[in-house]
Amino acid sequence: MSTHPYDELGPATILDAVESVGLAVDGRQLALNSYENRVYQVGLDAAEPVIVKFYRPGRWSEQAIREEHEFSLELARHEVPVVPPMTLGGRTLHEFAGFRFAVYPRRGGRPPELDVPDVREWIGRFLGRLHAVGEVVPFRYRERMDPARLAATRDWLVTGGWIPDYLRAAYDSVTDDLITLVGAAWERAGAPRFLRLHGDCHPGNILWTDAGPHFVDLDDAVAGPAVQDLWMLLSGDRGEMAMQLSDVIAGYEDFRDFDRRELHLVEALRTMRLVRFSGWLAQRWSDPAFPAAFPWFGERRFWEEHLLALREQAAALEEPPLSV
């Protein structure tokens, strides 16, 4: 018996799905690096290959997926460099053999050189434009990036028995502290305004060409504070991150003001992502792709190192925010 929905997504089903929306395939397909969804490059007759994303069954509602598509199309209409889904047969979201899927044009690029100040400022300008569009109307069906996510994920991991018994007391203690500290950081940020965001704006989701950057993969588009799309561009020690953030904000504010109070949320959002990542791995552990890609997750050493990282985050949350 099938143990996972993607067991039914074989090569023939992939090609048949693409042909069902009126595209003539040439039989070539290449699996791309994706875990949450399944993504393939599919060759076409007498045309450039396309990228096809099969959404993980049960993750998003149809309304949430359509809202993501509408946001990306809106950004494209305002000439914000994103890669929106193709409209085929009057639709961007399709269904075949029980799978929802979307087709995208193939767009290449290289990772951005984030050690170059001009590159950071350029990305900041595009993020400012993205957020200027994102603040016009709210999301109705996408998730919200708020502190409640941290407690919900922690509780799910604990009740699911994922934390080793010998670490349970320490884990409970540090995550209790983190929930308090993250909540306090949110209060210091002064009830930040929630926008429609990219949501997962790390360097891997930014591709660079001679024409500049473009954003890909809005699958994690979320409602949240603007700084959520900025902090994942930062790396290094506090001084280095402050300098990097100054460049990003300099470009950002060419198109939209940035509320400096949101700097209180940088370490809070990093903490939330750290805990949510472990929860994501646990939730997806029945998918055969996950044990193969993350074999260390099932080991005691992972949870020991994770606990250490959480303690470091507790210390970081006690420090003043970055100054720019």
Per residue in 156-196, pLDDT tens? 999 999 999 999 999 999 999 999 999 999 999 998 999 99
For residue 111, being part of any structural domain is answered with no
Residue 291 CA to residue 205 CA, distance in Å, equals: 24
pLDDT at residue 1, rounded to an integer? 37
58 and 98 in a common domain: yes
171 and 272 in a common domain: yes
179 and 237 in a common domain: yes
When divided into structural domains, the chain yields a total of 2
Catalytic residue selected from 200, 219, 229, 287: 200
259 and 170 in a common domain: yes
pLDDT at residue 2, rounded to an integer? 45
Catalytic residue selected from 118, 177, 210, 217: 217
- Which residues on adjacent β-strands are paired with residue 110? 208
Asked if 217 is an active-site residue, the reply is yes
User: For the domain that residue 55 is a member of, what is the CATH number?
Assistant: 3.30.200.70
Q: What is the pLDDT along the chain (324 residues), one digit of tens a residue?
A: 346 789 889 999 999 999 999 999 999 999 998 999 999 999 999 899 999 999 999 999 999 999 999 999 999 999 999 999 999 999 999 999 999 999 999 998 999 999 999 999 999 999 999 999 999 999 999 999 999 999 999 999 999 999 999 999 999 999 999 999 999 999 999 989 999 999 999 999 999 988 888 999 999 999 999 999 999 999 999 999 999 999 999 999 999 999 999 999 999 999 999 999 999 999 999 898 899 999 999 899 999 999 999 999 999 999 999 988
283 and 181 in a common domain: yes
99 and 121 in a common domain: no
Whole domain around residue 131: which residue ranges? 117-317
User: For the domain that residue 235 is a member of, what is the CATH number?
Assistant: 1.10.510.10
Estimate the crossing angle of helix 117-134 against helix 238-252, to 10 degrees: 50
214 and 124 in a common domain: yes
195 and 151 in a common domain: yes
Per the confidence metrics, is the pTM higher than 0.75?
Answer: yes
pLDDT at residue 212, rounded to an integer? 85
Which H or E run includes 310? helix 300-317
Beta-carbon-side half-sphere exposure of residue 3 (alpha carbons within 13 Å): 6
pLDDT at residue 112, rounded to an integer? 93
* Matching residue, tokens 């953030």: 245
Asked if 287 is an active-site residue, the reply is no
200 and 72 in a common domain: no
234 and 144 in a common domain: yes
236, exposed or middle or buried, with CB in 10 Å at 0-12, 13-18, 19+? exposed
For residue 323, being part of any structural domain is answered with no
